[in-house]
């Protein structure tokens, strides 16, 4: 990992640099106070900042508050001779709090934890990117008494959530699937629109709105007699999408 060391004591910087190198990491920059550290982080984008607390111009806690708004935010590990700032350090999202003189084993443990966290974050990011790159399905698979049925998305009128299952209403009837309405909404956002917390309707079959008692609205679906309730929350967006159809 790339590491920045911020400490106003040259001997402390020298010792930390030696420990970091021994642990197989790289010191990309050093700073003497918090303000300088912020500039260095912008320039070098380190994975970790080893940060002293009591320093001139800008102390470590203030520096950490600013670093919390960086994107990406480096992992912060406080390295200090004082233990009274531990609570403030935790509140500043620090990943570690080491007391001087810092033992090699303690530094190694904290850096290993940061490495694991970074890898977990990367894994989650890769999974998210893979989800985003997935090709949109053209068919929905449903297990029925007839076996596995494949329903073309173009034949689906709406999705209706009911407890743990979602009803898929399509041209040849309806089936239940074990998927979430939220995932379906994300995947088919260009073809379906949410009209209620429990319903998505196909924009291809949306035929208009009808007002019912108490100012409530229902959506009409072409080729179907049934109507679907539209919530007040989703009504404005639905009207906007209908104007663009």
Superfamily name with CATH number, domain 139-243: LytTr DNA-binding domain (2.40.50.1020)
- Residues 99/123, Cβ–Cβ less than 8 Å: no
Bigger pLDDT: 105 or 124? 105
The model's pLDDT over 20-47, given as tens digits with 9 standing for 90+, comes to 999 999 999 999 999 999 999 989 999 9
CA distances (Å), 17 to each of 5, 26, 103, in order?
A: 8, 8, 13
Backbone angles phi, psi at 58, to 5 degrees: -150, 120
Q: Burial-class residue 151 by CB neighbours within 10 Å (0-12, 13-18, 19+).
A: buried
Q: State how far the Cα of 90 lies from the Cα of 68, in Å rounded to an integer.
A: 12
For the chain, domain boundaries: 2-127, 139-243
DSSP states of 123-175 as a string? HHHHHHHHHHHSPPPSEEEEEETTEEEEEEGGGEEEEEEETTEEEEEETTEEE
Strands 227-230, 217-221: pairing kind: antiparallel
Q: State how far the Cα of 18 lies from the Cα of 27, in Å rounded to an integer.
A: 9
Residue 122 has pLDDT above 70, yes or no: no
Tokens at 38, concatenated? 């912020």
Q: Which CATH code is given to the segment(s) 2-127?
A: 3.40.50.2300
The model's pLDDT over 135-161, given as tens digits with 9 standing for 90+, comes to 678 888 888 877 778 899 999 999 999
């Amino acid at each position: 990992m790339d590491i920045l060391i911020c400490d106003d004591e040259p001997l402390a910087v020298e010792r930390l640099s030696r420990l970091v190198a021994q642990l197989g990491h790289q010191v990309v920059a050093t700073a003497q106070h918090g303000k300088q550290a912020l500039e260095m982080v912008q320039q070098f984008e380190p994975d970790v900042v080893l940060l002293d607390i009591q320093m001139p111009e800008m102390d470590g806690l203030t520096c950490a508050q600013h670093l919390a708004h960086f994107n990406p935010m480096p992992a912060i590990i406080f390295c200090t001779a004082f233990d009274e700032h531990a609570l403030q350090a935790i509140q500043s999202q620090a990943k570690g709090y080491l007391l001087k003189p810092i033992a090699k084993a303690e530094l190694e443990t904290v850096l290993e934890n940061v490495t694991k966290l970074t890898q977990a974050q990367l894994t989650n990011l890769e999974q998210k990117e893979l989800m985003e790159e997935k090709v949109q399905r053209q068919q929905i698979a449903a297990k029925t008494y007839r076996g596995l049925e494949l329903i073309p998305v173009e034949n689906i009128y709406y999705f209706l959530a009911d407890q743990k299952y979602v009803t898929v209403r399509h041209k040849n009837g309806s089936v239940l699937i074990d998927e979430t309405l939220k995932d379906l909404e994300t995947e088919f956002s260009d073809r379906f629109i949410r009209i209620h917390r429990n319903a998505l309707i196909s924009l291809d079959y949306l035929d208009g709105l009808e007002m019912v008692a108490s100012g409530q609205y229902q959506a009409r679906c072409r080729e179907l007699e049934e109507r679907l309730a539209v919530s007040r929350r989703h009504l404005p967006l639905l009207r906007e999408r209908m104007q663009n159809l």
